[in-house]
Amino acid sequence: MKILKIFCAGVALVISLVACVAPAMAQQQQNPPLVVRQLKPDVYWTEGGSGGNTGFIIGKNGVIVIDAKTTPDSAKEMLADIAKVTNLPITHVILTHSDADHVNGLAAFPTGLTIIAHENNKKEQEAALAVGGRGAPPADHQPTMVVSKNKETLTLDGVKIELFHWAPAHTGGDLVVYLPDEKIVFTGDIAATNHPFARIHTENGKHGSSAGWAESMKGMIALNADTYVVGHGTVQTKADLQMHLAKVEERREKIKAMVAQGKSVSDVLAALPDSEAVPGQPGVAGPQGLSFTEVVYAEDSKH
């Protein structure tokens, strides 16, 4: 009996250790180390950590950051890495969209910054903040400058930046950041390598669109750019975006044809399986919302 008690206690200890270690291991697997990579003398992007890719540009007197990671801890790590590159203060943050993995790290940023976002992004964040949902950084880190035009040309601290919003795409408030002098584009999640097609948010008050996604991809491809920093995954080329757009448009046409034939959504999903994630690619949103196939089906069923 004593041996049995010792054995049971040992099993309980092992189970307890596994319960403690497994989440930490899973977190470590999900969040690779944050790495800063240089694109041009004053332009950098970061991958890894918690959340989507980010960027930062060193201006004359300050730093312009693009997107803010998911958690304050990951954002602090990014801010510490920026401080290793330059001792200039962060003065501006540009948000590509309102998803939590791109905005919630703002809580770790200094207050008093100029935070730039599309007007629909601001509305989505305010709605999320009101219900304590995803994409809800603190009230004192909400956008302070909104973009309402399809194109906005700015000079921030000596850096020429063009901001584009062709249409609701990944979300209702996507903003593409283009550096014309450097020929670099920060795409947000309109372009990302962690999804076989495109992630379109239509849940939680976000009004993305597959047609708008295609329009936005075409707009980015038309820019005089060589380098595309995507929301998740490695840096892409114009040819990469063209190939991805062709793949998605082919899928859209197949779905639309089946809708025209009167097929049900179950029929379409059975004929065109739609996996939300690409194996080994972190950062895909959870099970909330519709898959790409379901989004296209819903859009075309309304016509």
- 53 in Cβ contact with 231 (< 8 Å): yes
Is 7 among the domain residues?
Answer: no
Is 79 among the domain residues?
Answer: yes
Give the domain range for residue 245: 33-301
What total number of domains does the chain contain? 1
- Which residues are registered as beta bridge partners of 64? 57, 92
Report the distance separating Cα 206 and Cα 189, nearest Å: 14
Is 290 among the domain residues?
Answer: yes
3-state secondary structure of 147: strand
pTM of the shown model: 0.86
- 137 in Cβ contact with 106 (< 8 Å): yes
Is 19 among the domain residues?
Answer: no
Q: Which CATH number belongs to the domain containing residue 180 in this structure?
A: 3.60.15.10
Is 186 among the domain residues?
Answer: yes
Is 5 among the domain residues?
Answer: no
Mean pLDDT per 10-residue section of the chain, whose length is 303 residues: 44 38 42 93 95 97 97 95 98 96 94 96 88 75 95 97 97 97 98 91 86 97 98 97 97 95 91 61 47 90 72
Residue 137 confidence (pLDDT) = 82
Residue 129 confidence (pLDDT) = 83
What phi, psi does 216 have (nearest 5°)?
Answer: -70, -40
Residue 24 confidence (pLDDT) = 36
Percent of the chain with pLDDT over 90: 69
Residue 205 confidence (pLDDT) = 75
Is 3 among the domain residues?
Answer: no
3-state secondary structure of 106: helix
Is 23 among the domain residues?
Answer: no
Length of the chain: 303
Q: In what order do the strands lie in the sheet with 54-58?
A: 35-40, 43-47, 54-58, 63-66, 90-94, 114-118, 145-147
